[in-house]
Chain A
């Protein structure tokens, strides 16, 4: 037989159980909020840390094209003045200018002058440096013709490439813009 005392005790236990259920609900809600917050923070972090470099730097591409077509002071004969692309071929094939100068030296000076006077780079600029290179490829054979570094290349960069024939292989010039 349930006494008054027994009835009170069971009521107290029921109230205690109900309070625990309420606490469980609150705990569940807090857990959901925490999980969703963590997911959102991970998502935002991934978006902000997306450090892919430019897929195509069109302006740099055009600059490299124009640079390759720049007429130099080196002539092969008479008034046949060589452009930078021709000079890279001549340098690769150990040819000299009609004035007797080594084509590689003229190429080096021309590139240095052109890039330094047309592109801005440095510690206090958005572009930290540039790397110009010309590589000869013939099948698996690969040969560096010239590599010139301007400034520093610490991390992110975008790159433009242009290729032309130097039979039996090809020469690929590239200009890397460093951020």
Chain B
């Protein structure tokens, strides 16, 4: 009888030991899993940010390729080329309240074209064009961050007998469309 009682307690002890081992393993894997997920999440955030920047660049280029802005005067194919004359006209039209104000999606806060080489400064108007550096088509808010991509900014230059000239520029859009 006593022997039986001793054997049962030993069995219970073994069961308890096994239970503790299982609980310990589960807790260990849980902690390890949290650690791995944390690391993986950090990598994901970086990828998402990069994709947002790339997406903004692609959308900016799609806007640049629209007939309203694209350069079509060259005899050869010009990829990602903006007609600066068209851009200035577009800006003037939008500032005068044209329907083009909402031509692009309502969640785009601003679009601007910047000349980066040769470097010029100042917002373009019909008075200082083409000796200026930026054409802001529109901006709906003061609080935004720009993302965009490189483009060729082309126009007809009357100097040196008149010729088509393409310079390095950027087209940038606001991030509201990324939310």
A positions within 8 Å CB-CB of B: 18, 22, 25, 29, 32-33, 36, 40, 43-44, 47-48, 58-59, 62-63, 65-67, 69-71, 75, 78-81, 83, 113-114, 117-118
Contacts and interface: CB of A to CB of B under 8 A. Distances in A.
Contact of B165 (A65, A78, A81): A81
Nearest to B24: A29
Contact of B151 (A36, A47, A66, A75): A66
Interface string B42-86: 010000000001100110010000000000000000111100000
Interface of B: 10, 17, 21, 24-25, 28-29, 32, 36, 39-40, 43, 53-54, 57-58, 61, 78-81, 116-119, 149-152, 160-169
A62 B39 contact: no
B54 A69 contact: no
A71 B156 CA distance: 12
A66 B150 contact: yes
A69 B78 contact: yes
Instruction: Determine chain A's interface SS by DSSP, over half rule.
Output: helix
B117 A71 contact: no
Contacts of A71: 163-167
Nearest to B81: A69
Contacts of B28: 33, 36
Nearest to A60: B150
A33 B27 CA distance: 12
Given A40-B32, A44-B36, A70-B152, A65 B79 contact: yes
B168 A65 contact: no
Contacts, number: 84
A67 to B, nearest CB: 7
15 contacts: A18-B10, A29-B21, A36-B28, A59-B150, A62-B80, A62-B151, A65-B150, A67-B168, A69-B79, A69-B152, A70-B168, A78-B161, A113-B117, A114-B168, A117-B116
A101 to B, nearest CB: 15
A100 to B, nearest CB: 16
Contacts of B80: 62, 65-66
Given A25-B17, A58-B54, A70-B166, A79 B161 contact: yes
Contact of A114 (B24, B54, B117, B165): B117
Contacts of A40: 32, 36
B69 to A, nearest CB: 15
Contacts of B151: 62, 66
A79 B149 CA distance: 30
B160 A118 contact: no
Nearest to A43: B36
